[in-house]
Chain A
Amino acid sequence: MVQARITLDVRDEFVVAGIHGEIDLFNVRSISDSLVDATSNVVKALLLDLSSVTYLDSAGLKLLFELARRLEPRRQRMGVVVPEGSLIGRIVRLSNIAEIIPVMSTVDEGLSWVSRPRPL
């Protein structure tokens, strides 16, 4: 059973990865691998769109932390888009991940974040 699908929007310098479906302990590894694969060395930023995620558990949250930790040494930025007030938004904000990576409410917001130059 397919729990989640990933749509990749590869722009010039960044990738917008949309996750559809559920993220749980079971498929978090494969999602992680897919996202790492999608974020090649030339990419400067990964924008993770969780708007279409219907379920996210603590393993999924750990995925976000893990991704951020892995991209950091490569000087690749990562942002998360999650609608404010949704269950997923609440879960994400519950994790205080915003202390590490920006959490935005819409994709547009995310895109504008991406296009901003990286602070030195």
Chain B
Amino acid sequence: MFESKATVVDCRVDSRVDQGFAPKRRNGPRRPMSRGRPQRVSVHPRRWTLRTRLSLGVIALLVLLMLLTLASYRRVFRDRREAELENSVIVARTLSNAVTAFTRDVEHTLLAVALALEAQEEPVSQKENGAYLREVFVRSGVLRAIFITDKHGRLIASDSGTDLGRDLSSRPYMQSLANGARTVWSDLLIGIQTGQVTVAHGRTIRAPDGTVRGYFVAAFFPHRVLERIPVTIPPDARVLVVDRRGSVLYTSDPRPSLGTVDLAGESDVQRALSGQPVVVRSGRGTQPDDIRYGAVVPVAEVGWALSFTRPVARLEAQLRGEMARQAAGVVGVMILGGVLVGFVIHRLTSPLMALAETAAAIADGQRPTLPPLNDPPEVARLSEGMRAMSEAVAEREDALREALRTQEQIYRLTAKINRAADPQDIFAEALDALETTAGVQRASILLLEGAAMRFKAWRGLSDEYRAAVEGHSPWPADATDPHPILVPDVRTAPELEPLRGAIAQEGIRSLAFVPIAYNRRLIGKFMLYKDVIHVYTPEEINLVETIAGNVAAGIERHRTAERVARAERGQRFLAEASSVLSASLDYEATLRRIARLSVPALADWCLIHIVEHGTVRHLEAAHTDRQVEERLKAFAAGVPLDPNNPTGPTMFAIKTQRTLLIPEVTEAYLRTVTKEERVVRFAMDLGVRSFLAVPLIARGETLGAILFATSTLNRNFDAEDVELAEELGRRAALAVDNARLFEQQRTVAETLQHSLLPSPLPDFYGVQLATRYIPGGRGVDVGGDWYDVFDLANGQIGMVIGDVVGRGIEAAALMGQARNALRAYAFDAAAPHLVVERLNALLVRDHHATMVTLLYVVFDPSTRMLRLVSAGHLPPLLIEPDAAPRYVEGGRGLPLGVAPRASYSESTMSLSPGATVLLYTDGLVDRRTESLDAAMDRLLTVASETYDNNAEAMLDRILSSMLDSSAEDDVAVVAFRPLHVGNDALNLRLPARPEVLARARHILRQWFDEKHIPRETASEIIVAVGEAAANVVTHAYGAAEGEIDIQMTAAAGEISVMVRDFGRWRSSPGGGGLGCAMMRAFMDSVEIQHHETGTVVRMRKQLSVLHVD
């Protein structure tokens, strides 16, 4: 029960899991199946939140951006540097070109002037050419001076017209011209007057005949030239122009004193002077910390070099500043971006977290209100989705809860139905379930009985209504797979027309018929009632059908259990009946007990009739109610069955030997089977509902019949009862038959056995004898044990104790044969061992496969010698008054009937008076609970404590000590002891039967022998006593048993005899007178007295004087 409950809980959890919205709890008892698998510490691996991830992503992005920016700035800086350098080169080249253009312009001017001069016919003179020169000078703007020398170098014309005749031939450029150079550019010249840097260009003026007429020289200031170049030079830039020797012709930086700076040693300058442009990435300026960059380019045609440089520091500072600005921008962007991203993250994750919380709460089964999240729209949409989901979840959860609750109800119903011991419990549970799950307050449960629906349980229905509609069913009784029938409004249902009145009366407006079916077979129905028009939903009907299914299963289970229980009860009943039947062989008592047993196990009451000698006799009646039972008994005993009317159930069963089942007993039925009004009345009073009569048949013969009846309202006999009753009938009949057979057999066996045992025991003079035969077993199995005591022809006493192996009539019969044969062999006092050998030969020849153990003892009273032969029998026990008891061994041989030529020997012993020999069969010492040795030891102990002067008393004590209730075997015992002889009186008490007369005579003869009475006299007395005794036997007791006393004394030479009986003589003593005549003939006096208590015959006889003892 607990297990199933646990299952329910699991089901619930699992079903939620299945639905997919159960929270994945990290801890808890769920997922027991995961034991053994690698355990998951957590359902979620530890992960960064979205916020962290976004933040980290943004940071990484910004760092990357920064790195990229830095990297790109590096390149930009490098490119800028390169561009600066290229720019420097371009500027340098531009400047250089400008210088070149100037020098060309100078050269062209000079050439034009020179050509004009060469073509001048008049000699060159101040006068001739001064003004022209002046004009050129002014026009050029850059010239320092312009003049012409003669071929010797003397100044002959100039712009200023001063210093004419001055010898300039020592000037380096003049010398180059004098050496034949057509044109020449001078190196740096320091103005003589001005002290300014000057450069001169000279040209040879030739006559048309080619002779030198003079030289034309133009001197100008390089800085003016450069200053006229329309190129803007940044203020930090420095332009240097050096001549072919490396002397600085021009510098834009005024600080170094020109002319003193010699840059010829500078490699960059040298390379530029040699015609190669040089890019200076980092060069030393005029100051030690003045690191500069720029270019040094050659100035074409004149062989100068021009350097354009700018300080690196400036560029670096510029670049650094730029970078700082850029970095600031980047950082600013980053910060802005971070803030933005943070904001976005915040706006995004906060609602997400809130939603997650909400989701968790939902998952936990709560119903949280969602936070108002309307912005941003995505979150709003998510929130909206979430809300929808939450509602859906809640809805589904509600539905599921409802379903679970219903399911639980159903489950509880199922469990309760399964537990229900009584169908009424099932109905009550079902009605409860209908109310709690389907909300149906008025409902009823009907079960199909036969073809009619019967109310079994109901709520809110009146008795009148039930009576009115009972039996109604919308489905045929044999309907398979019946479907619910819904009547939303009874007023519009024509098929309910016949019941409409009752329905209206009951205030019912709507009906639902829900079939209770098992294996699609209709077994009953639910009725649902509403006082309003009601249309049931499919779910409701489903539910009711489920409950109906449960009820059906419960009912079926109950019915099955009932059937099983009934079968078990039947079996138990039969087993009990069998044990009752086998317990006793008194069949009347047995049948009476069967009647008692059948009520109420099988029926409410029953009657047993038996057939005896062709007539039917009432034997027993039983009823569940003891008082009714007495009336039933009296009635059944007082109303004998009419043997000529075989229609009554009992007589029918007896006459036809067939079972009769009347499932429904009606008064009409009773009237058809009996004409007696009182029988009908009595049966009706008993409330008979069902009859079942079974005959008791054994070996084709009807021994009687049992009539079973039920009187309760809810039970009819059915086929199973018939089966049970018939089985009971068969067994009872068999038992009765057995009992009758047994009675016959037992009578035969007991008669046989008792006829074979000597009873009463002959009275032997001088010995005391006690014998017992105790039948041990039950039933017909009389044993083969016997004892026998007889006198032998020579006055000796023969005693036998024997045991034919086996039981029953055969053993008893064989015992009789063995006993008689032994008596016959022993009669003429043959030697005991020969007697036993002959008996053995006889048994071997005539009775194969039998075995007899036997002890044959012959006692001679005159010598008190005992001769003993044992044929496989237990040794006799010798019990002496003054010595410990002992078993007498010796004289032992094989059991009889085993070996054809077995020989037997005798053992001889002397018995003192009082010494008792106990002969016994194994029944005395054969116990199931005890070994034979132990039992025989016990017998020794018992015997040592039980010596008694009276052999009978002693035997009683031995037997009571040795035997208990567990004794099953027959026991035959003979105790035998010689007595002290010497009493004058003889006392005999014998049964008054003809067969004892001979024994009495024998004893008398022995007594007379002891007294040495002459034979003749003794014989006469014996005749007289014999007559008296015979008279007693013949007349005293009639057919009854009686006893005869014979007392005899010998005193004073006279024998006195008294023969006495205790009966009433039917005719006069000595009838015919012959007996009396004989008594009187042989005795001296005969006196006969009749008393109320009996008759006494006294006789006397005088002994002859010769015989006084």
Measured CB to CB, the residues of A under 8 A from B are 1-3, 22, 24-26, 55-59, 61-62, 87, 90-91, 94-95
Contacts and interface: CB of A to CB of B under 8 A. Distances in A.
Contact of A2 (B827, B997, B999, B1034): B827
B1075 A2 contact: no
Given A22-B1001, A26-B998, A55-B998, 18 more contacts: A1-B827, A24-B994, A24-B997, A24-B1001, A24-B1026, A25-B997, A55-B1026, A57-B1026, A58-B1074, A58-B1078, A59-B1030, A62-B1072, A87-B1020, A90-B1081, A91-B1023, A91-B1078, A94-B1077, A94-B1081
B823 interface: yes
A1 B1016 contact: no
B988 to A, nearest CB: 16
20 contacts: A1-B790, A2-B827, A3-B998, A24-B994, A24-B1001, A24-B1026, A25-B1033, A26-B997, A55-B998, A55-B1019, A55-B1022, A56-B1023, A57-B997, A58-B1072, A58-B1078, A61-B1074, A62-B1074, A87-B1016, A94-B1077, A94-B1081
A58 B1030 contact: yes
Given A61-B1074, A62-B1072, A24 B1023 contact: no
B781 interface: no
A22 B1002 CA distance: 11
Given A3-B998, A94-B1077, A95-B1074, A25 B1034 contact: yes
B791 interface: yes
Contacts of A56: 1023
Given A24-B1030, A87-B1019, A55 B995 contact: no
A91 B1075 CA distance: 10
Contacts of B1022: 55
A49 B1027 CA distance: 22
A15 to B, nearest CB: 25
A61 B1027 CA distance: 12
B536 to A, nearest CB: 105
Interface pairs A-B: 8 shortest CB-CB: A26-B994, A58-B1075, A58-B1074, A25-B1030, A25-B994, A26-B995, A87-B1019, A24-B997
Interface string B1046-1075: 000000000000000000000000001011
A57 B823 contact: no
Contacts of B1077: 94
B1006 to A, nearest CB: 15
Contacts of B790: 1
Contacts of A22: 998, 1001
B271 to A, nearest CB: 182
Contacts of A58: 1027, 1030, 1072, 1074-1075, 1078
Nearest to B790: A1
A40 B336 CA distance: 166
B824 interface: yes
Contacts of A61: 1074
A2 B823 CA distance: 9
Interface string B981-1018: 00000000000001101110100000000000000100
B60 to A, nearest CB: 140
Nearest to A56: B1023
Contacts of A25: 994, 997, 1030, 1033-1034
Contacts of A26: 994-995, 997-998
A55 B1078 CA distance: 13
Contacts of A91: 1023, 1078
B1023 A57 contact: yes
Contacts of A1: 790-791, 823, 827, 998-999
Contacts of B823: 1
Nearest to B1074: A58
Contact of B998 (A24, A59, A90): A24
Interface of B: 790-791, 823-824, 827, 994-995, 997-999, 1001, 1016, 1019-1020, 1022-1023, 1026-1027, 1030, 1033-1034, 1072, 1074-1075, 1077-1078, 1081
A18 B999 CA distance: 23
A66 to B, nearest CB: 12
Contacts of B999: 1
Contacts of B1027: 57-58
B827 to A, nearest CB: 6
Contacts of A87: 1016, 1019-1020, 1023
B1071 to A, nearest CB: 9
Contacts of A57: 997, 1023, 1026-1027, 1030, 1075, 1078
B755 to A, nearest CB: 15
A36 B1001 CA distance: 27
Nearest to B1080: A94
Contacts of B1081: 90, 94
A87 B1077 CA distance: 14
Contacts of B1023: 55-57, 87, 91
A67 to B, nearest CB: 15
Contacts of A95: 1074
B823, B824, B1074: most-surrounded residue (chain A CB, <10 A):
B1074
A12 to B, nearest CB: 33
B994 A94 contact: no
Contacts of B1075: 57-58
A62 B790 CA distance: 28
A62 B994 CA distance: 16
Nearest to A24: B997
A57, A59, A87: most-surrounded residue (chain B CB, <10 A):
A57
A55 B1033 CA distance: 17
A24 B270 CA distance: 197
Contacts of B1072: 58, 62
A61 B1070 CA distance: 13
Nearest to A3: B998
B417 to A, nearest CB: 85
A61 B1075 CA distance: 10
B825 to A, nearest CB: 12
A24 B994 CA distance: 8
Contacts of B994: 24-26
A95 B995 CA distance: 24
Nearest to B827: A2
A58, A87, A90, A94: most-surrounded residue (chain B CB, <10 A):
A58
Contacts of B1030: 24-25, 57-59
B761 to A, nearest CB: 13
B838 to A, nearest CB: 16
Contacts of A59: 1030
Contacts of B997: 24-26, 57
A105 B1001 CA distance: 26
A62 B1075 CA distance: 10
A58 B1076 CA distance: 9
Nearest to A90: B1081
B67 to A, nearest CB: 149
A72 to B, nearest CB: 19
A59 to B, nearest CB: 6
Nearest to B1020: A87
